[in-house]
Amino acid sequence: MSGTAVMVVVVVVAVFVLVGAATFAVAANRRIRRFARSNEIIPGLPGNAPADWARSPEPEAVLHRRIRYALDEIRQNPGIVPNDRLRVARDELERAAVRLDDALIASSTLPADHRIERRETLETAVDEVEKLPGIAYTGTVGEALTAFATATDRINSLA
């Protein structure tokens, strides 16, 4: 094969690689933007949070987004789907997180003094939910199951 033919093959392969990378980047960016605009705690299940909470600096809105991002990290863990017990525990956690989000929405309408107290109580549950992705990725199945159940019980006791 001549040097020119090799060069043509290299250029064609490079173009295909660049087109593939660009397509992947555009699709990933679209997915990220769609997620950022939505207020769903569970994908496909419309949430009750106000639309402006997607970008609002209000403390309850920030807590809402923290829940969403933590649950999204858990959903992206490839080790959960093939494990029936973890998948069930995750689904229970997601349902509890919807109740936690509803409690945040309700707390946002309280008078200021009650609002702050209630928000601080609910924030402890949000803190616990945020720790779960790390446990799910680095811990054992048993540790993840225990952490999911503990967080679900904590949320259920507050929401």
For residue 150, tell me if it sits in a domain: yes
Q: Which of 94-132 are b and which e, b meaning 16 or more Cβ less than 10 Å from the residue's Cβ?
A: bbbbbbbbebbbebbeeeeeebeebbeebbebbebbbeb
Strand partners, 42: 45
Instruction: Indicate whether 13 belongs to any domain.
Output: no
pLDDT tens column, 76-107: 999 887 889 999 999 999 999 999 999 999 99
- Residue 129: domain span: 51-158
**Position 10 in a domain:** no
pLDDT at 94: 96
In a domain, 29, yes or no: no
Categorise residue 2: left if φ over 0, alpha if ψ from -120 to 50, beta otherwise. beta
34 — pLDDT class (breaks 50, 70, 90): low
- Residue 55 in any domain: the answer is yes
Is 152 a member of any domain? yes
What is the reported pTM?
Answer: 0.76
In this structure, the dihedral spanned by the alpha carbons of residues 90, 83, 135 and 46, taken in order and rounded to 10 degrees, is -20
- Quote the number of domains for the chain: 1
Supply the Cα-derived Rg of the chain in whole angstroms. Answer: 21
Question: Does residue 19 lie within any of the structural domains?
Answer: no
Task: Using the structure block, give the residue that is written with the tokens 């601080």.
Answer: 120
Residue 110 in any domain: the answer is yes
